[in-house]
Chain A
């Protein structure tokens, strides 16, 4: 039982490049989330998906898109990366009681 997995672990992009962050969970959870974590600002929700086929914006969705491919997988795409998107990105999933479980994170640097 791997829990929540994320790929890649590290990534360096140039301004304007695109990339997709992958996330998968094997706990049969309906809800999945993408957060970014920045020093002094805590975790902020980018997008979430309450169930397969649905996605909703969180607090900071600008510059990002998501896809809930199936119940297991939830990807985050940066279409045109900007230095302000340098951050650590976490994927999470939650039980029906709202207990969240997190992946190990992706450390992204945009030059």
Chain B
């Protein structure tokens, strides 16, 4: 069974710092990988989707990379802001198991003003 790990579980940085969040997965036969943001008490908001044939995707200050062979993805956040404080989740999709997603437990990010 696919296992998705996100380390660290929590991260605190000063405003303006660039930072990297990590996601690792055990089975490289994935269809795609998606990064989400979750604010306390809210649902998940899609940030970036990377197809298995892609190496990276960018949206504004966010850049996500994918290395299938090593089972890793990173989410790079440039010039962090207090409004970036949230939990960030990654999920891998194994199409061959019926379009199921496997989620990590997330990294809780706090950006200190």
Q: A41-B105, A98-B31, A100-B91 are in contact. Are A50 and B44 (CB under 8 A)?
A: no
Quick check: is B104 within 8 A (CB to CB) of the other chain? Answer: yes
B99 touches A31 (CB 8 A): yes
Q: What per-residue 1/0 map shows which CB atoms of B75-113 lie under 8 Å from chain A? A: 000000000000001010101001111011110000000
Nearest CB on B from A70, distance (A): 19
Q: What separation, in Å, do the CA atoms of A71 and B43 have in the docked complex?
A: 22
CB-nearest residue of chain A to B94: A98
Q: Is the interface of B mostly helix, strand, loop or mixed?
A: strand
Q: What per-residue 1/0 map shows which CB atoms of B46-67 lie under 8 Å from chain A? A: 1001010000000000000000
Q: What per-residue 1/0 map shows which CB atoms of B23-53 lie under 8 Å from chain A? A: 0000000011010100000111110010100
* A38-54 at interface with B (beta carbon < 8 Å): 40-45, 48, 50
Residue from A42, A44, A99, A104 within 8 A of B43 (CB atoms): A104
Q: A100-B34, A105-B43 are in contact. Are A45 and B99 (CB under 8 A)?
A: no
Q: What separation, in Å, do the CA atoms of A40 and B6 have in the docked complex?
A: 12
Measured as residues with beta carbon below 8 angstroms from the partner, the interface class of chain A is 20 to 34
A90 touches B43 (CB 8 A): yes
Q: A50-B98, A97-B51, A98-B31 are in contact. Are A43 and B103 (CB under 8 A)?
A: yes
Q: What separation, in Å, do the CA atoms of A43 and B106 have in the docked complex?
A: 10
Q: What separation, in Å, do the CA atoms of A99 and B32 have in the docked complex?
A: 9
Q: What separation, in Å, do the CA atoms of A56 and B101 have in the docked complex?
A: 14
A58 touches B100 (CB 8 A): yes
A42 touches B49 (CB 8 A): no
B44 touches A90 (CB 8 A): yes
Instruction: Kindly name the residue among A4, A40, A43, A102 whose own CB sees the greatest number of chain B CB atoms within 10 A.
Output: A43
Nearest CB on A from B33, distance (A): 10
B44 touches A48 (CB 8 A): no
Task: Give the A-binding residues of B (Cβ under 8 A).
Answer: 4, 31-32, 34, 36, 42-46, 49, 51, 89, 91, 93, 95, 98-101, 103-106
Known A-B contacts: A48-B98, A94-B99. Give 13 more (CB < 8 A). Answer: A4-B43, A31-B99, A43-B91, A50-B98, A50-B99, A58-B100, A90-B43, A90-B44, A97-B51, A98-B49, A98-B93, A102-B36, A105-B43
